[in-house]
Amino acid sequence: MPLTFYLEVLLQGVLTGLVYGLMALGLSVIFGVVRVVNFAHGEFAVLGMYAAFVLFTAFRIDPFLAMLPIAALFFVLGYGLQRALINPFVGRPEHEQFILLVGVAIILVNGCLIVFGPEARHPNLPYAFDSFQVGPMILDKVRVYAAIAAILVSAALFAFFRFTTTGTAIRACADNLVGAAVVGLDVKRLYALTFGLGLACVGAAGSLMVTLADATPMIGPAYTFLAFTIVIVGGMGSMGGALVGGLLIGVAEASATFILPPSMKSMASFALLVAILVLRPQGLLGKRA
Amino acid sequence: MNAISKLIARTPGRGLVLLAIFFAVLAALPPFLDRYLLSVMFLIFWFATVSQAWNVMMGFCGQLSLGHALYVGLGGYVAALLYVGFGVPVIVGVFPAMLVAVAFGAAIGFLSFRFGIEGVYFALLTIAFAEVTRIGFDNWPLMGGAAGLFIPVRAGGGGEWWNLRGGPVLFYYVGLLLMAIALVVCSLLRFSRLGYAWLAVREDPEAARALGINVFRAKMSAIMISSAMTAVAGSVYAFYQNNLFPSQAFDISRSIELILAPIVGGLGTLIGPILGAFILTPLGQGLIAATEAIVGKAVPGANLVFYGIALMAIIWFAPAGVWPWLKKKLAIPEERS
């Protein structure tokens, strides 16, 4: 078991970590702007996984293509959700927001359970077992595709926030809410847009995830936990931090399999989380609150 | 006893009468209930007890724990292992169970409160600990691993109350007793010096510190008392179920189930957790029965969808809970003046 084996595992971890990062990016954007913690985040990811699964089994649409309509759909969903349900809770005590979204999460998990049953589902992609040969290393084809797609979506989001007027306006809300309202920005609409974008990220991430892991209803809380861990490791509200955190967690979980049984791999992210919380609570790229 | 008589003197007369009637009726009820209803009542008492414990942390001290299943599971595992492995009676085993849970609670509290981890971050850390403990127990052969730990059932139902080996009537009264003890303990705590310190920390930690309250110590005592109470309930639950699986004992969904009753009933109130349990458990059980009757088979998850909707409705319409509203209706004053 030479060096290449370790490199291979680590590289697979990097690729998976990019998809994790995309999922966490959605959480981070929502928290950074709307200041609401989306406690149903992983459940939405699972919903995205099921959406991609259904589109593939019913219409033979490749998850890497289905990602786009699913993201669009999730954007609309998020926009509506923020407008109708969450907006009245902006600024209310943290535990009230929490409970509202726990309610959403419970409904999503058990809705999926009722509709799809408890079995693990995954699309039977024709190229699921193909791989790329990179020098002496072998990388799963789907993992490489998923990572590339995650990078593209993240880059698009970064560009939106950096270069468009709306993106700048959203950043203004995050930086200085009162100032944003004073100069006449429609904060409610921008919040709804942000929540929509956050869910679009998680919808896209879910479509990618279903090519790497099985969809089961009960995995929702685990993904919520994963997204939180990533965002806290990277820094709450920092977009770059979400991606860095995703990479770190992906690598940590992959390298944990060197010493632990696979069912215990989330121990590694837990250790990382505790270390970060103790040593640098604001996260790697976060600013001190 | 002095503290108790003080407590009684403090409680408004109308409330005292209602409470006495409430417990008297419950104590006289079992002969009129069948097996199923007895078990539903046990669940209500049990949830009321754990809700009371959770309420100490969130309702009194303002620390949102979303990992209380950890203490339920630990309490159950320790008491069950001592009984199955060493024949230690449950009534004795419950103390080491509390001790282990308190040790975990103290570790979580120390990690969080020492380093200023609050709010959402704290909630996440509690989930993290529950999850990791679940994974640990899943991979720990001594504890039965993922295949579970089973508590032997005595033939003939056995009358060993000190080992919690008995029928539904035994568990009914154990549950009722637990609920009553939890209520008394929480009432005593609430009006103690510590209780007032908790409220101050909940409302404004900075101001509390300025008043000379040791915020760290207040939070630590909240998490330790809460985890000890939860562990007691957890060991009783394990013997009620006669089995323990890490995937159930430490499950996130159980942690969430635990926090519903106090929120629905009224956070930070003494009667709220009990009221919430009396509202939610029958509703949940009724919904399971109703979907079974309508669909013709059990629909797993349907009752939880309902829980989710109930949770959202409550936090939407009555964020303070049902009890503050009902108290006004019953014309019970805040405190005896």
Q: Which of A38, A104, A86 is nearest to A191 (CA)?
A: A86
**B288 near A CB under 8 A:** no
Domains identified in chain B, total number: 1
**B263 near A CB under 8 A:** yes
Chain B contact set for A98 (CB, 8 A):
64, 120, 123
Chain B contact set for A273 (CB, 8 A):
124-125, 128
Kindly state the average pLDDT of the residues B75-104: 91
Q: Which of B74, B73, B52, B55 is nearest to B64 (CA)?
A: B55
Check the CA dihedral B59-B19-B311-B42 and report its sign. Answer: positive
Q: How confident is the model at residue A277 (pLDDT cuts 50, 70, 90)?
A: confident
- CA distance linking residue B314 with residue A100, whole number of Å: 9
pLDDT at B195: 93
Beta strands B149-150; B243-244: pairing state: antiparallel
pLDDT at B337: 43
- What tokens does B143 get? 């504890």
Closest-CA distance, A165 to chain B, in angstroms, reads 32
Answer whether residue B197 shows pLDDT above 90: yes
Which residues does A213 contact at the CB level (< 8 Å), separation at least 6?
A122, A219
Reported ipTM: 0.82
8 Å CB contact of B304 and A106:
yes
- B337 within domain boundaries: no
- B336 within domain boundaries: no
Render A26-70 in DSSP notation, one character per residue. Answer: HHHHHHHHH----TTHHHHHHHHHHHHHHHHHHH---HHHHHHHH
The residue of chain B nearest to residue A229, with distances taken between CA atoms, is: B124
- B334 within domain boundaries: no
Answer whether residue B335 shows pLDDT above 60: no
| Model confidence pLDDT, tens digit, residues A189-234 | 999 999 999 999 999 999 999 999 889 988 888 898 899 889 888 8
- CA distance linking residue B128 with residue A222, whole number of Å: 10
pLDDT at B121: 80
Kindly report the length of chain A.
289
- Domain that includes residue B41, residue range: 2-329
Single-letter amino acid, residue A78: G
Kindly report the length of chain B.
337
3-state secondary structure of B318: coil
pLDDT at B155: 56
8 Å CB contact of A103 and B309:
yes
Q: Which of A36, A72, A250, A214 is nearest to A153 (CA)?
A: A72
Domains identified in chain A and CATH numbers? 3-279 (1.10.3470)
Closest partner residue to B123 among A98, A264, A277, by Cβ?
A: A98
Answer whether residue B300 shows pLDDT above 80: no
Numbered residues of chain A with Cβ closer than 8 Å to any chain B Cβ = 37, 85, 88, 92, 94-96, 98-100, 102-107, 109-111, 113-114, 118, 217, 221-222, 225, 228-229, 232, 261, 263-264, 266-267, 270, 273-274, 277-278, 281
Kindly state the average pLDDT of the residues B138-148: 78
| Cβ atoms of residues A158 and A30 within 8 Å | no
Answer whether residue A289 shows pLDDT above 60: no
Q: How is residue B167 annotated by DSSP?
A: -
| Model confidence pLDDT, tens digit, residues A106-147 | 899 999 999 998 888 888 888 878 888 877 788 888 999 999
Name the strand (E) or helix (H) holding A137: strand A137-140
Which residues does A107 contact at the CB level (< 8 Å), separation at least 6?
B305, B308, B309
Closest-CA distance, B305 to chain A, in angstroms, reads 5
pLDDT at A9: 86
Least confident range of A9-18, A137-146, A278-287, B11-20 = A278-287
Closest-CA distance, B138 to chain A, in angstroms, reads 9
Distances (CA, A) of A119 to A129, A226, B21, B34: 22, 21, 49, 36
- What tokens does B247 get? 């995937």
Surface-to-core class of residue A3, CB atoms within 10 Å of its CB (0-12 exposed, 13-18 middle, 19+ buried): exposed
8 Å CB contact of B319 and A96:
yes
Percent of chain B with pLDDT over 70: 96
- B259 within domain boundaries: yes
- B309 within domain boundaries: yes
Q: Give bridge partners of residue A140 from the DSSP assignment.
A: A131
**B132 near A CB under 8 A:** yes
The residue of chain A nearest to residue B113, with distances taken between CA atoms, is: A278
- CA distance linking residue A174 with residue A27, whole number of Å: 14
The residue of chain B nearest to residue A270, with distances taken between CA atoms, is: B128
A156-161's contacts with Cβ under 8 Å and 24+ in sequence apart are A157/A25, A157/A29, A157/A197, A157/A201, A157/A239, A158/A239, A160/A197, A161/A239
- What tokens does A35 get? 């200041």
Closest partner residue to B139 among A92, A225, A264, by Cβ?
A: A264
